[in-house]
Amino acid sequence: MAEGVTTQHRRLFSIEQAFAEGNPYADYAWFRAHDPVHVGEPGWPLGQPQVFLFRHRDVMQWLRDPRMVKRASQLPEFQALREERQWEPPEQDTFGFAASRFMLFQDPPDHTRLRSLANRAFTPRVVADRREEIEAIAADLLRAFRGEQGGEGDLIQALAYPLPVLVIASVLGIPPEDMHRFRDWAAVLGAAIDLPMAGLADFAARADDATRDMSDYLRGIVTARRDDPRDDLISRLIVARDEEGRLTDDELIATCILLMIAGHETTVNLIANGTLALLRHPDQWQRLVADLSLSGNATEELLRYDSPVQLTTRIVADEVEIGGVVVPRGSEVFFMLGSANRDEAVWDDPDTVRLDRQVGRHMAFGMGIHFCLGAPLARLEGEVAFQTLARESPGLELRDPHPAWRPGAVLHGLGRLDVRLSG
């Protein structure tokens, strides 16, 4: 028994190592086969064992269960621990201050209230109306890539990053000429989701600085929109704040920060990861080139194959039993989305890209009440990006066959993707 436990913990550690190489999927497969509900070491928030779910069926079922919550503060034991240790609330405009107001980390009724305010900008109908705008941006970016760099260089810098940034800026109402300000801010705050342990104090200080700078900037935009409302999400949030009293000033700023980061960070990874996967499956790339109508289904398959978000977590509000394992109240549960999307029980040959696959219910956008708000927009941006690349550069080539992956166990993405446009 002890030898088995050691093997399991070694395997879990190897997943962390594999993220740096961009390929944790062999270790995921081992856990699905041998230890699909893995009980790990005691941890946050109450010293209960951390539990890792690797199978599609478990991830889908338990992400929808109301006993899986986001905020540990719902638990009286956590409140008592906070008072005992005299934890101080985060200072104004620090990352912790803003994050504590993100809808991403809220439970009902606050989550319901905040999400309903932002949701009106991300309905499938509203998003569909942006197709021509997104197609024009993608085409312009590729033309600029050809003209300025001869079509050789980093596709992330040329297309995967600026496309979703320009689109979410348009949704929010942020002037496109200010986008350069958000690059460094977003890079720091996006990485904060993974909480790197090496140099944590220095990283936390940089995250706080970025949050303050972004908050100051957004307050300026809010002031301008109060004087001159426009047809954008910030103007609508101001109405909800000033006329309806449905959110606070701090929630307004935090919602804008979250949407600015979440509205592009994962889509950058979708476009870059997906392009790499297509170029590593040249037969599938040629299928897309020959039939651009596959771009929508290709986006779903690429989301499944190499998910931009690899895991999400919840806190158990009441003791549950998962796959025969009793999970105590106060445990943190890790939902391994990337593993669920390679589950052999759901998909044949899951480690291969097949653009004609009936993808079905993948977990790339999560499940339940926290299902990704921006999923319709991310899907459309991915579809347009892959379609535009296939149409404008049917001979697209990968210049570096082994691109480096950014560190992190939550957000899964490349540092750069060197390509050559051709055809």
| Segment 371-391 mean pLDDT | 96
- Tell me: the pLDDT tens digits for 30-43? 999 999 999 998 98
pLDDT at 200 over 60: no
CA–CA dist 73, 190 (Å, integer): 24
Phi and psi, residue 40, nearest 5°: -100, -160
Q: Strand 68-69 vs strand 311-316: parallel, antiparallel, or unpaired?
A: antiparallel
Ordered by where they begin, the domains of the chain are: 2-420 (1.10.630.10)
The pLDDT tens digits of the residues spanning 275-298 come to 999 999 999 999 999 999 999 999
| Residue length of the chain | 423
Least confident of 18-22, 112-116, 413-417: 18-22
Share of the chain above pLDDT 70, in %: 92
Predicted local confidence at residue 201, as pLDDT: 62
Which of the four pLDDT bands, split at 50, 70 and 90, describes residue 2?
very low
DSSP 314: E
For the ranges 16-20, 91-95, 191-195, 372-376, which has the lowest average pLDDT? 191-195
408: exposed, middle or buried (Cβ count in 10 Å: 0-12, 13-18, 19+): middle
Buried residues in 215-245 as b, exposed as e (16+ CB within 10 A): bebbeebbeebeeeeeebbbbbbbebbeeee
Q: Is the pTM of this model over 0.85?
A: yes
Mean pLDDT, the chain, whole residue set: 90
SS (H, E, C) 152-182: EEEHHHHHHCHHHHHHHHHHHCCCHHHHHHH
CA angle 219–220–221, rounded 5-degree value: 90
pLDDT of 7 = 63
Q: Which of 164-173, 241-250, 298-307 has the lowest mean pLDDT?
A: 241-250
Q: Which residues of 332-362 are buried (b: 16+ CB within 10 A; e: fewer)?
A: bbbbbbbbbbbbeebbeebeebbbebebeeb
